[in-house]
Structure 1
């Protein structure tokens, strides 16, 4: 998401009445004694919003659900609930073994969250509780699991350090058997350091001072803590990759404590056994899945797995899992363009940007039902994809995506280091990225890994893509979502996808080469809903609408434009910003508290389904035909500019005489007289939109520049915000160009001042190209699949950008032609010769 240009600010603090209300709510939820200072540090806005599930949370039911659905065992114990808490003075402080900590916190809600009962940020912290090992577990190994802790963690059991971990988004475990006392309560201490460092630490959207497109941080334990008994030889992870061509599942059982034992993996369709394989742990096994029932968003069919470790045919460990049979890849769609293919077919991926923030739990959904809600909302609204934006969710989120049938693009949380970070930063980033891939590699819903977003912390993208491909060759890699904008490094063709971000958009990225093209972010339509805003005084959107009807209409308009982009440009996917409001951002389909659906549900669903349905008809054309246009080389308007005096110049072919604005002078032209422009405020206005810029057209002019360096436009036609086209000199490239905003067909070499050149710009809507000719020769071509409709005036001597007149021509212009068709190369040559 584009960075919003604004100064950092500190959120306003709440009045006493709001603090009292917050304290009452926290007390009702977590039942700890909360020091007054904790509530006093609470942001005012954050205490004002609750979700429909906030009041379901208590110390006895804090996320009680089994946290690891892809590796299940019958025996386990949840350690969520009320823990003791204290702020530490610094990193590396000696553990307060045997000491009662002064505060209480509800785990696993982040320290900054309302649900935690603390609601303030601290850099260094201690958690403490005791636990008892059930008698029936004696004789087993005891594993202690942390699903996610942000950011650096040290774990002590009975004063013995049993684990350290760096990274805020992946799970880690410790075998704590050797640290246990014989019986009775066991002390568990957890030290966490989290400075929310925005240089080298992967933080995603977290900021200590949340503002604009960045939000309140989530420090400490923010996912479930739990424990389970296992045998000495036990399964750690099941890596499952479907292989449709072989009608098999490629499965690797990662295990600990294995000596001579073997692993057995059995697949079931319901209760029916469909395949079985045995072999060594840590090696890839081929599990037959005959007549595979394919997993799709419309039919998210899941097989179940039983995994056993066998010692002489006796099972010493047994775990359950599941998998889906589907493929994801690239290939040519019906229109011959490279598309993202699901199970060998092009299916338009229509999704939203999903940031995964909550007003009550920040990073942590209050309940499992709440966690599922956003995904169910996607399905009800006709989406088939979700982009998890620079955050990693708990395993249960991916389980629900698998169950409900949603394709997932998984971002890696961004660092904000430079493009040349030190090796230590790169090593940490890649280690944590690898851990995320390993933990989630078996979810059928995940189809794309996204290591970088808009260049945030981006470095060596080609090498990072290669690493991800070596870890997981079965999925696509989107090297840098939004590579066209912001802080992105130059696009050198890395990865499988060219990803365009355009707000409000949608963008019109053209599929080229061997990569698929996608609209990775667009939209951002906003609506204010009283009583459901995080910070009403500072809420914003990329385009704020006055009411629900307008929001609904604008959403359907954007999706209708995307339908053309899908059909003409070869785009494979779209990501609308966004499914919910997040803090100051009011551009969600739902409000931040999930209580109000802002646009009309039926219209949103119909517009989304139309995009998906069109997947089957790409290549058949969209029914658009382009008339042959007016024959001959005169065109529909021609300005010889031979008057030599006066304030009006004649259109000798059409009826749109041009008025001279701010006094351009008459000068000697290429032939006869010409207009001389000062490059600051002078131009000629034809008073009409001469060209239909949604179809084929051409423009030509003889031009001479007095100076170089800045953009300068010879001929354009005004749009609402930008010119529909620019026949211009591009100061950025020091070349002549025929352009749309952001797309330029460039000449190969720089022009000279004081010299006449003949420029022709040709728009061929059928082929989706812009072509520039200089002095009768083809000079450059650019792909531009859609043209903007324009009802503004055609003008000579300037352009329009951002709603303002810009790029005034510094020099002379002569013999301007406009055509309602695409000139051929031969015609351009004839026109040049006639002018010579």
Structure 2
């Protein structure tokens, strides 16, 4: 036990100074474009060719769409109270501010720099010109993420409502449009943050140390899409190397049409095709493939897909690969890709940005993070307590970066930090048989609220359905360090029912319930060891460790750093980081299947990243 590091990493509450305004290179580029009048999508309400490089959802793309990102009007007003006030509040008389969408008002790039409080509502307003629709066409309005609850109006009529801060949703606004005229779009948002037990991730109103700025409102892309009335609504793609085929399951609006599936090589050449007529609202088409080209980090080969249903045309892609936990030649359970053991060298990726908070300033910024991780020798990113924008997963698919995908945590705040942090760090014995399915234990894990359990389960299942077609995702991570944990065995069964193709890390950290495919421990303060139970069929991973701190002046949000150890010089820090990574790699011979080092970048007070928060300094190389 390293007492010095443990004391340095103790969680604390304190008055926090105002953060320094740190701009990433991509945020500065966005500001420069804005000054030249190019904006951020702005009023680009025009049809555009669909391409993976630009489409918000490269795995489910149609050609007729337009961005609604850019400058909107906004107004903060007092909430009238009551149940779901975002649905009943009156529209403000004036909108005195403007906000750059899709950045939250708390983010520098929003141009607002103001917290939405739990007793307030945030109204958004803009106009847009809808594309011309012919008979049998509809217009969908997409919001890729809004934190937390919202009501949407088009030309003064309610188009729909939604709650949940991390998953995409859409409304059919066809019947609300004014043909040939500008259409008014209003969105009213409420965000209780940690005053209610909803899934929220690492956001806290009273933030600091490992908890980050609470953000609110629109924080992912807003866009419209022109679609046929009879269309494909959902796809499930299973590319099976074992069967030598790809099966495309589609849910459609109305049966009766033929579903045609074309599989294309990476250069666009037709490989194979198949079709079937929809007798019900769901159907499957099997397309045989001779000697499929397997996907792996060193050769991330993607096949193209063209799906046609009546007049609807959707482009997508897939990859042939398997992920599993299997015994190696010595009988040790290992993570396997394409049935071959692969040692996971991972980084914890919080997905926070100094100028955009949860929203990356651009797709180039997302790509730079992934490339940096690869260049530093890592083959996996653990997307931590966040659902990222769809384009990030497409980049990982294309660049061969493996992803462990966390579910978003929540529960009654504040967490009992003695139970979920201090006691488990002091003693491994405290991590032992602590059941998560009894009311008294759920109260200590902040998960006893039945409404929270129902919402977490809904969001967990929604996340798996949303992301399951991405080949880069090789494991689902359900609960982290006991935060809002409950009934993990039931959660594993639910996720396996939706996706039986991936292993599951049911419990990352401690309070293992003997379920899932991994024994998954966090170890920040002890000598790294493998604790693989004899006869276990689960692989052993150190799913968090490290956290060594180096504060970079002028590239950190705060003057006082937070982390698990300080060093006298940058060179001393580098040696310590490399030695710790080498120590973890050496454990592969003792049965370790992989590790996750904390972390990719600094975040606010946490200066334990390999990159500075503004991404301008690579501490291992600079």
Q: Structure 2-normalised TM-score?
A: 0.86
- In structure 2, the residue matched to 1:541 is 563
- In structure 2, the residue matched to 1:754 is none
How many angstroms apart in 2 are the aligned matches of 1:458 and 1:493?
Answer: 14
How many angstroms apart in 2 are the aligned matches of 1:545 and 1:361?
Answer: 29
- In structure 1, the residue matched to 2:495 is 468
**Residue 441 in structure 1 maps to residue 468 in structure 2:** yes
**Residue 526 in structure 1 maps to residue 549 in structure 2:** yes
**Residue 51 in structure 1 maps to residue 24 in structure 2:** yes
1:379-401 deviation digits (Å, cap 9, x = unpaired)? 11111100000011000010101
**Residue 565 in structure 1 maps to residue 543 in structure 2:** no
Q: Does the CA contact (< 8 Å) of 1:46 and 1:359 recur in 2?
A: no
Q: Does the CA contact (< 8 Å) of 1:95 and 1:159 recur in 2?
A: no
Q: Which has the higher relative contact order, 1 or 2, with Cα contacts under 8 A spaced 6 or more apart?
A: 2
Q: Does the CA contact (< 8 Å) of 2:348 and 2:599 recur in 1?
A: yes
How far does residue 282 in structure 1 lie from its aligned partner after superposition?
2.0
How many angstroms apart in 1 are the aligned matches of 2:41 and 2:483?
Answer: 33
Query: What is the aligned counterpart of 2:174 among 171, 177, 196?
Result: 177
How far does residue 242 in structure 1 lie from its aligned partner after superposition?
2.2
1:61-87 deviation digits (Å, cap 9, x = unpaired)? 426832111111111110001111111
How far does residue 139 in structure 1 lie from its aligned partner after superposition?
5.9
How far does residue 510 in structure 1 lie from its aligned partner after superposition?
2.8
Q: Does the CA contact (< 8 Å) of 1:143 and 1:227 recur in 2?
A: yes
- In structure 2, the residue matched to 1:267 is 263
Decide which moves more: 98-107 or 294-303.
98-107
How many angstroms apart in 2 are the aligned matches of 1:506 and 1:240?
Answer: 43
Q: Give 3-state SS (helix, strand or coil) of 2:203's partner.
A: coil
Q: Does the CA contact (< 8 Å) of 2:148 and 2:189 recur in 1?
A: yes
How many angstroms apart in 2 are the aligned matches of 1:471 and 1:264?
Answer: 24
Q: Give 3-state SS (helix, strand or coil) of 2:282's partner.
A: coil
Aligned CA RMSD, in angstroms, stands at: 2.0
- In structure 2, the residue matched to 1:829 is none
User: Residues 288 and 88 of structure 1: is their aligned pair in 2 closer, same or farther, counting only changes over 3 Å?
Assistant: farther
- In structure 2, the residue matched to 1:370 is 365
How far does residue 125 in structure 1 lie from its aligned partner after superposition?
1.0
**Residue 503 in structure 1 maps to residue 524 in structure 2:** yes
1:308-352 deviation digits (Å, cap 9, x = unpaired)? 003xxxxx1101001111100111113320111100000101110
How many angstroms apart in 1 are the aligned matches of 2:315 and 2:483?
Answer: 39
- In structure 1, the residue matched to 2:45 is none
How many angstroms apart in 1 are the aligned matches of 2:356 and 2:268?
Answer: 39
How many angstroms apart in 1 are the aligned matches of 2:20 and 2:231?
Answer: 44
Query: What is the aligned counterpart of 2:477 among 445, 450, 472?
Result: 450
**Residue 556 in structure 1 maps to residue 578 in structure 2:** yes
Q: Does the CA contact (< 8 Å) of 2:149 and 2:162 recur in 1?
A: yes
- In structure 1, the residue matched to 2:110 is 116
**Residue 66 in structure 1 maps to residue 55 in structure 2:** yes
Q: Give 3-state SS (helix, strand or coil) of 1:543's partner.
A: coil
How far does residue 135 in structure 1 lie from its aligned partner after superposition?
3.2
- In structure 2, the residue matched to 1:776 is none
Q: Structure 1-normalised TM-score?
A: 0.64
- In structure 2, the residue matched to 1:777 is none
**Residue 9 in structure 1 maps to residue 9 in structure 2:** no
How many angstroms apart in 1 are the aligned matches of 2:497 and 2:241?
Answer: 20
Q: How does 1:217-366 map to 2 (within 5 A)?
A: 217-256=214-253, 258-269=254-265, 270-279=267-276, 280=278, 282-310=282-310, 316-366=311-361
How many angstroms apart in 2 are the aligned matches of 1:186 and 1:363?
Answer: 29
How many angstroms apart in 1 are the aligned matches of 2:232 and 2:75?
Answer: 36
Q: Does the CA contact (< 8 Å) of 2:132 and 2:179 recur in 1?
A: no
Q: Does the CA contact (< 8 Å) of 2:194 and 2:203 recur in 1?
A: no
Q: Does the CA contact (< 8 Å) of 2:41 and 2:68 recur in 1?
A: no
Q: Give 3-state SS (helix, strand or coil) of 2:451's partner.
A: helix
1:274-319 deviation digits (Å, cap 9, x = unpaired)? 2222223523432222211111011111000000003xxxxx1101
- In structure 1, the residue matched to 2:128 is 131
Q: Give 3-state SS (helix, strand or coil) of 2:249's partner.
A: strand
1:615-649 deviation digits (Å, cap 9, x = unpaired)? xxxxxxxxxxxxxxxxxxxxxxxxxxxxxxxxxxx
Q: Give 3-state SS (helix, strand or coil) of 1:182's partner.
A: coil
Q: How does 1:621-700 map to 2 (within 5 A)?
A: none
How many angstroms apart in 2 are the aligned matches of 1:212 and 1:187?
Answer: 42
Decide which moves more: 445-454 or 57-66.
57-66
How far does residue 497 in structure 1 lie from its aligned partner after superposition?
0.7
How many angstroms apart in 2 are the aligned matches of 1:198 and 1:376?
Answer: 38
Query: What is the aligned counterpart of 1:212 among 209, 212, 226?
Result: 209
- In structure 2, the residue matched to 1:517 is 540
Q: Give 3-state SS (helix, strand or coil) of 1:339's partner.
A: strand
Q: Give 3-state SS (helix, strand or coil) of 2:193's partner.
A: coil
Q: How does 1:576-615 map to 2 (within 5 A)?
A: 576-600=597-621
Query: What is the aligned counterpart of 2:70 among 56, 74, 81?
Result: 81
Q: Which has the larger radius of gyration?
A: 1
How many angstroms apart in 2 are the aligned matches of 1:461 and 1:402?
Answer: 29
Query: What is the aligned counterpart of 2:450 among 417, 423, 430?
Result: 423
Decide which moves more: 424-433 or 345-354.
424-433
How many angstroms apart in 1 are the aligned matches of 2:490 and 2:411?
Answer: 19
How far does residue 406 in structure 1 lie from its aligned partner after superposition?
0.7
Unaligned runs of 5+ in 2: 1-5, 43-53, 80-84, 413-442
- In structure 2, the residue matched to 1:804 is none
User: Residues 198 and 558 of structure 1: is their aligned pair in 2 closer, same or farther, counting only changes over 3 Å?
Assistant: farther
User: Residues 226 and 496 of structure 1: is their aligned pair in 2 closer, same or farther, counting only changes over 3 Å?
Assistant: same
Q: Does the CA contact (< 8 Å) of 1:496 and 1:515 recur in 2?
A: yes
Q: How does 1:790-801 map to 2 (within 5 A)?
A: none
Q: Does the CA contact (< 8 Å) of 1:274 and 1:290 recur in 2?
A: no
Q: Does the CA contact (< 8 Å) of 1:304 and 1:322 recur in 2?
A: yes
User: Residues 456 and 272 of structure 1: is their aligned pair in 2 closer, same or farther, counting only changes over 3 Å?
Assistant: same
How many angstroms apart in 1 are the aligned matches of 2:180 and 2:13?
Answer: 53
How many angstroms apart in 1 are the aligned matches of 2:196 and 2:90?
Answer: 31
Q: Give 3-state SS (helix, strand or coil) of 2:103's partner.
A: coil
Unaligned runs of 5+ in 1: 13-43, 311-315, 602-836
